Amino acid sequence: MGLLNGIELTLSYILHSVFRFFQLVMALTVCGLYGVDLNKANKEGKYSDGKWVFAEVVASLAAFTAVLYMIPFFMRIPMLFVWDTILFILWIALFGLFGNMYIKEHAEADAGVQRMKNAVWVDLANALLWLISAVGMTIHWVKNRHDRTRFTGRATV
């Protein structure tokens, strides 16, 4: 039974929404982890490092996208897997950028360095979530791109 005309509250939609919610939570986590340093620099009157701004932009794009993907009608747009792939590439670039800076670093009672080491692994988790999303959306698109309309069955969707 449809929730609204053409929208069904199926198990697949619920699982899809839960997955997108995890993507949203992880993106907001990155916003918080990197935002601490940007806020501190702003309060001290220092410049905002472009690497941290890049992290905030990527996390914001991912969070906004995850929210949009929870809207049922939005999922009907074809080839969304391309945007998921772009987000995956951005997350991998972010992981590489900060991983190179912090993975080999020893925290030694420095909470800021430990926070950034943790942020690097959250970046990797985000990259993996968007990779799963891109692969899943690609499979869905390839599988359903030649479907017929629901009412007459004559037109391709």
Those residues whose C-beta lies under 8 Å from the C-beta of residue 26, and which sit 6 or more positions away, are 62, 122, 125, 126, 129
**Residue 157 falls inside a structural domain:** no
The confidence score (pLDDT) of residue 1 equals: 44
Residue 94: which domain range? 2-144
**Residue 30 falls inside a structural domain:** yes
Half-sphere exposure of 52 (CA within 13 A, CB side): 15
**Residue 86 falls inside a structural domain:** yes
**Residue 19 falls inside a structural domain:** yes
**Residue 95 falls inside a structural domain:** yes
Show pLDDT as tens, one digit a residue, over the chain (157 residues).
Answer: 445 555 566 787 888 889 999 999 999 999 999 999 898 888 888 888 889 999 999 999 999 999 999 887 777 777 889 999 999 999 999 999 999 999 888 878 788 888 999 999 999 999 999 999 999 889 888 887 776 655 565 666 5
Split into its structural domains, the chain has a count of: 1
**Residue 54 falls inside a structural domain:** yes
**Residue 102 falls inside a structural domain:** yes
What predicted TM-score, i.e. pTM, was given to this entire model? 0.84
Burial class (CB in 10 A: 0-12, 13-18, 19+), 12: exposed
**Residue 119 falls inside a structural domain:** yes
